[in-house]
Amino acid sequence: MGELKMKYIMTGIREFDRITGGIPHGDVIILEERTGSIKTIFAQQVADTISKDGGRTLYITAKSKREIDESMKIYGMSLNGAIDIDSSDSVLKKESGYDLILIEDFSIRYLNLSMNEVMSLIGDLKDLESTVMILLDAGVLDERIERAMKAVVDGVIEFRLEYQKDKLYRTIVIPKFKKVIDEIIPFTINESGIVVDTRKRV
């Protein structure tokens, strides 16, 4: 494993960490969003925070290293040597040695897998002993597969956007998470990324 070896990984989003206690180390977590890039910003903030604490991240994505670097710089984050970019998931078949593994575009990457194949993949991810974040686009995979995934992973964090009276409301909904029960957390986006809006706690 990396150098962190901690029970909980802090996301770098202060109020979120206060509410949840951080991401349990070794858990497989789904980050779900119907459309948009909020889940990616959240995952990148966690990777950036981990790298500052001496940990290592594997970022599995079809995007180039340059694209990831540019997207992180928008919010003041850095793609440094502690964050490895890889387009292949072959590393998942062996001990990774990473504190965090991000799997971007999971829904597209594994679109043609059967229920049994997806469940087997989730089992393999659990065996890695790394914290794993699955970035899931809601409604792309078969509904039965999505429900089954949520049943077997350790946590689910949903990012929602709603329009009410010409205003945009962003919330983090946590239907499944250790030590947290049905939490709804309003947030905004600024130059630092995701920031919990403490004025609008639900």
User: What residue spans of the chain are helical by DSSP H?
Assistant: 14-20, 38-52, 65-73, 106-109, 115-127, 143-152
Q: If you average pLDDT over residues 175-199, what whole number do you get? A: 90
Please determine, for residue 27, whether its predicted confidence score (pLDDT) is greater than 90. Answer: yes
For position 6, what pLDDT does the model report?
A: 55
* Gap between the terminal Cα atoms of the chain: 37
- CATH placement of domain 8-200: 3.40.50.300
84, 56 contact by CB (below 8 A): yes
Please determine, for residue 35, whether its predicted confidence score (pLDDT) is greater than 90. Answer: no
d(CA 99, CA 59): 11
Across 5-9, 70-74, 180-184, least confident range: 5-9
Tokens, residue 167: 């205003």
d(CA 59, CA 48): 11
Instruction: Encode pLDDT of 133-166 as tens digits.
Output: 999 999 999 999 999 999 999 999 999 998 887 7
Tokens, residue 135: 């970035």
Tokens, residue 5: 């070896």
